[in-house]
Amino acid sequence: MKRFLILMLLCITVIMLVAGCVPEKPVKDGKGELAVTIDREFTTPATHSPLEWWQTHHPTVINSGDIKEQDCLYCHQVDRSCNNCHGYVGVRKIK
Amino acid sequence: MNDAAMIWNLFAGVLIGLAYLSAFAFVAGLTLRLFLYFKTPVPLKIVQTPGPKNAPGVLARMAGDALIFPNLFQADKALWLGAWLFHACLLLIFVRHSRYFLYPVPELVIDWQAISIYAGFLFPIPALYLLWRRMASARVLFVSGLPDFGVLILLTAIAATGMLVNYYARAYLVDVKAFILGLLTLTPVAPPQHPVFIAHFILVCLLLIYFPFSKLLHAGGIFFSPTRNQIDNVLYPRYVNPWNEEVRIDQNR
């Protein structure tokens, strides 16, 4: 029993340590190192509306060829508002 | 807080509870069952010829058994193809899912995604074949019980909801991953409000709870098959009867 408790305690400590390395999820103007930021001068284009739809469907739109990846980079900087989020979910990086 | 939000919070709490319950059932059940396998005495050498003569040989044989099912290949070619594809798809799907659980995501998993996604499309074919096979022949039907069908149907339902979540009713992966990482780091957050994702998730929880107590445990049990994991060395050591009388041999005669 004592050994079991020690093992449990050890597991929980390891989980806590690992948890410390997991950042906040990437959110627009959110907290943490992965926060998505876009320069103020750019307004949200019509393609992004509604935003919930765009968040889940921008891969489909790009993969279908309707909009090119390069066109996004007019407003977005890859490491501040593409690849930080892609790194979180494990999608290939935008170049 | 209005009623809808309250009900949602309650439901999210129940779901998180279910997740931890199933994780506990899976880990504890698996440990217990494998421990029992491990403790079961195997007093006799019953290694199947041609047996491996040393430990690396056993390792190679077990790896072969687990990866390409050679015995099944000899017995039934069609079933072998179905079963092998089924398991290969499961492996690829599992590898692809690791990106929802790991942070940072390994490069290899990202590179493999393009291939792995086809496993999702392919999976229903061997799954439906295995299901059909159980009903097509009277002999197989006779030895099939409810669990045999149940497990195939459960896995197919998980695959179906998974494909839906990825293609037709896309869930927002950022929220999904935040939910999963929250569970894993013991700081749970509410799941995304996405019915198909929630269905997928509940089905997987049921699978986790059921796994250690079902035939699915052949995944671990295969490594405990005495005919396959023993070293064929019965004839090598010299056994000396400990109560033999000492025999004096006169060297000078």
Q: Which residue of A has its CA nearest to B170?
A: A56
Q: Who among B113, B170, B185 is closest to A18 (CB)?
A: B185
B72 vs A88: CA distance, rounded Å:
41
Separation of CA B42 from chain center: 24
- Cis omega (within 30 of 0) for bond into A50: yes
The whole model's pTM is what? 0.91
Q: Quick check: A25 pLDDT over 80?
A: yes
Domain-by-domain residue ranges, chain A? 24-89
Report how far residue B210's alpha carbon sits from residue B146's, in angstroms, rounded to the nearest whole number: 14
Tell me the ipTM for this assembly.
Answer: 0.90
**Tens of pLDDT along B111-154?**
888 888 889 899 999 999 999 999 998 999 999 999 999 999 99
Interhelix angle B146-163/B195-210, nearest 10 degrees:
150
What pLDDT, on a 0 to 100 scale, did the predictor assign at position B235? 83
Output the pLDDT for position B246. Answer: 82
pLDDT at B158 > cutoff 80: yes
For residue B19, give how far its alpha carbon lies from the nearest alpha carbon of chain A (Å): 16
pLDDT tens for each residue of B24-62: 999 999 999 999 999 999 989 999 988 899 999 999 999
Cβ proximity of B16 and B23 under 8 Å:
no
Answer yes or no: do A25 and B177 touch at CB < 8 A.
Answer: yes
Interchain contact, A89 vs B173, CB within 8 Å: yes
Which residues partner with A28 through β-bridges? Answer: A36
Number of H helices, E strands in chain A: 5, 0
- Average pLDDT of the residues of chain A: 90
- Which chain A residues are Cβ-neighbours of B185 within 8 angstroms? 15-16, 18-19, 22
Asked if B170 lies within 8 A of A56 by C-beta distance, the reply is yes
Q: Give the pLDDT band of residue B253 (cuts 50, 70, 90).
A: low
Q: Could you give all domains of chain B from N- to C-terminal order, each with its CATH number?
A: 63-233 (1.20.950.20)
Residues of B in contact with A52 (CB under 8 A): 172
